[in-house]
Structure formats: C-alpha cells, structure tokens
Amino acid sequence: MNASTSLETSAASARPLAQRTRRVVDAPTRVFHWLFALSFLGAYLTADGERWRLLHVTLGYTMAGLLGFRVVYGLLGPRQARLSLLLRKLAGGPQWVRSSLSAVRNPAVGAVNWRQGQYLLMALAVVSLLALVLPLTLSGYATYNEWGGDWLEELHEFVGNTFLLVVLGHLALIAGLSWLRRKNLAMNMLSGRVEGAGPDLVQRNHGLLATLLLVAVLAFWAWEWQQAPQGLVSGASTHSIHADDDD
C-alpha cells in the first residue's frame, strides 16, 4: 500500500508542468487585457501637448473599439468570459458587507469571508474600468472636435484621472494579494494558467480569435499611421516657422 502511494507520488511529480497547471483565462481575454492596458497608458502619457495628439486620439479610439469587443465577447462568448459573472459578484456585495459587519460585531456569528471580499473588489475594479471608457472616449472625441468648450475638456481630464486611480487601485490589490498568497496573481494574464492540479476552467483557448483581435488593432494603428504623415509634417513645419518668427 505504501509502495503504491510512493509510486503515485513519484509519477505525479514527474508529470510535465503543463499537466500540473490549469487554464483559467482564455487567449482573447488576455490579448484584450494587455491591449487595453497599453492603450490607456499610451493615451495618458500623450494627453498633454499637440505633438502627440494624433497618437493620443488613436489610442482613445482603440480603447473604444476594445470595449465594444469585450461587451460582445462578454455577451456571446464562453461562460467564463461572460460579463454576467462580474455582475453576479457585484450583486453579492451588499450581502457580503452585511455579513462582514455582523461577524465583526459578533464573532460568534462566524468569520469574515475575506476571499469573497477580494473577488468583489476585483470585479468592482474591472467593471469600473469598462464603465469609464464610454465617458472617457466620448468626452475625448468632443474635445478633439472642439465641442462644448473648456468644461468638456476638464471633464475629459477628470475622467482620465479617475480611470488612472482605478487602475492604480487594481494594481495595488493584485500586488497585495500576491504578497499575501505568496504567488504572482498577475501571471495568469500572461500564460492563462495557474498552478495546481485539476481540470481546466477554460476548455478552449480560442487562439484564432485572439490573433484576429491583435491583427485588427495593429491594422487600425497602421492605417492611422498612413493617414498621419502629412498632418504631422505640416504641424512640424508650422511649429518651425513660428519658432523662426520668434527668433
């Protein structure tokens, strides 16, 4: 009996790493996540000044397009990518708050379910980021077309800063949980897998759809680049002329 158990343990330890992990995030979700993050970072860094304005606008349009993809994928995609999962987590928020307050006031009721609270905060951050994209891009589009005056530009800046605060809170939460659990919780957005035995939560990776999403974004950027040179050259020439006049 002991020899059999020892053999089973040795066989388990000899399995390839891929068989000792589980897929929890599919490829389209991961590609969306990183394109979304890079687009916001680039848009935020190029928000000031006219020199990078076209790049700022292009990245803003990219965020809007990615939001559209995520909504459709969240409605028609596989179960684990459904937006309804996030909404169900948020729907349990009030109940969790009430039970947590009861547990703090009266320990005999039970312990606080901190794991559920962590999932709740994660879902709240993701939903908040998705919800902020629409006012962010609409106010940006109106500002780019010089509609509404200074108040709309201030609104766009306010929403952008709010978006940044939510992103920083999201990153802080991931870093804190990674430290508490002694594992890098951000790695599943790179590999799509987590350590541990058991079946894959995501049965199909949908790599083709992820590739199409990446190609579509890169094609849009390339198309915007092709439209840009004349305007950029004109802007540079105008800036140079004004600089010469000032001299």
Q: What is the DSSP letter of 197?
A: S
Tokens representing 197? 């035995």
d(CA 237, CA 67): 36
Report pLDDT digits (tens) over 212-240.
999 999 999 999 988 875 545 444 433 43
Report pLDDT digits (tens) over 74-99.
999 998 899 998 898 888 888 888 88
Report pLDDT digits (tens) over 38-59.
999 999 999 987 888 899 999 9
Q: What's the pLDDT score for residue 229?
A: 57
Q: What's the pLDDT score for residue 38?
A: 96
The confidence band for 108, taking pLDDT boundaries of 50, 70 and 90, is: low
Report pLDDT digits (tens) over 144-166.
888 878 899 999 999 999 999 99
d(CA 228, CA 223): 9
Contact indicator for 201, 23 with CB cutoff of 8 Å: yes
Q: What's the pLDDT score for residue 72?
A: 96
Contact indicator for 144, 56 with CB cutoff of 8 Å: no
Contacting residues for 32 by C-beta, under 8 A, at least 6 apart? 66, 69, 70, 73, 213
Residue 136 phi/psi, 5-degree rounding, is -65, -50
Report pLDDT digits (tens) over 166-202.
999 999 999 988 888 788 888 888 888 888 777 878 8
- Average pLDDT along the chain: 82
Q: What's the pLDDT score for residue 41?
A: 96
